[in-house]
Amino acid sequence: MNNLNEESDTNSFTGASTALFRIGPQWGYGMAQDKDNLDAWELYSEGYRRAADQLYAAWDPKGTGARLLLFPLAYLYRHHIELLVKELLLLSTKFLQLPPDWKWRHDDIRFWKLLRPMIDKLRAIHLSGFSVNQLDSIERLLTELSERDPNTQLFRYPIQRNSSCHLQQLDSLDLKNFCSLMQQLSAPLSNLCGLMKAVL
């Protein structure tokens, strides 16, 4: 077993040979996959969800640093939802007319509205477990998310591109409600991904 002091010295950021992206465990993480591989997209979306869930479980709303965790916690859930919507798009590329740069766009509600007619058709045959009310609720929450955070900047930076500040609109955010609804939004979107993998 390596001496802890020796390992610390080799990881010193002042060392001339120090690198952030050095090769890690010999067995790897199993992530060397094609950029369009669905497993890779799921790896990202599920990773963000689990990180958000663990951070939320540890979050103390009455703690002295509670407000410091608002931004990373909300962003983890927000990015997770965007990745799920894009995973659905990736599953549907053979059936939809998508802009060539869709993977780098953040318009979740626009993409959902492209997906919805196909999902409604599939629902009658393969997705009977999804009610119209569930799909309408997904659409309503994605609409709100896209309207309030159209460029995924709300939780990443304190100012918008026009230099206006985000903090005023986030000052009274009910984070418990936000996280709870994002978890509830995640569940049917994740289920849709799984079901569409099976039937498409």
Distances from the Cα of 38 to the Cα of 42, 126, 197, angstroms: 6, 20, 9
Do 152 and 78 contact (CB within 8 A), yes or no? yes
pLDDT value, residue 185:
97
Alpha carbon distance 132, 111 (integer Å)? 18
Alpha carbon distance 59, 67 (integer Å)? 10
Q: How confident is the model at residue 136 (pLDDT cuts 50, 70, 90)?
A: very high
pTM of the model: 0.84
Of the listed ranges 3-17, 112-126, 147-161, 182-196, the one predicted with least confidence: 3-17
Higher pLDDT, 20 or 48: 48
Token pair of 50 as six digits: 């689990």
pLDDT value, residue 31:
67
Higher pLDDT, 175 or 105: 175
Helices and strands counted in the chain (H then E): 7, 0
Of the listed ranges 46-55, 71-80, 93-102, the one predicted with least confidence: 93-102
Do 193 and 84 contact (CB within 8 A), yes or no? yes
Token pair of 121 as six digits: 């058709």
Collapsing DSSP to helix, strand or coil, 37 comes out as coil
Task: For 40-157, list the strands marked E by DSSP.
Answer: none
Taking only the tens place, the pLDDT of each residue in 28-67 is 666 665 556 667 888 899 999 999 999 999 999 998 888 8
| Ramachandran region, residue 163 (left: φ > 0; alpha: ψ -120 to 50; beta: rest) | left
Which residue is listed with tokens 């393969």?
A: 126
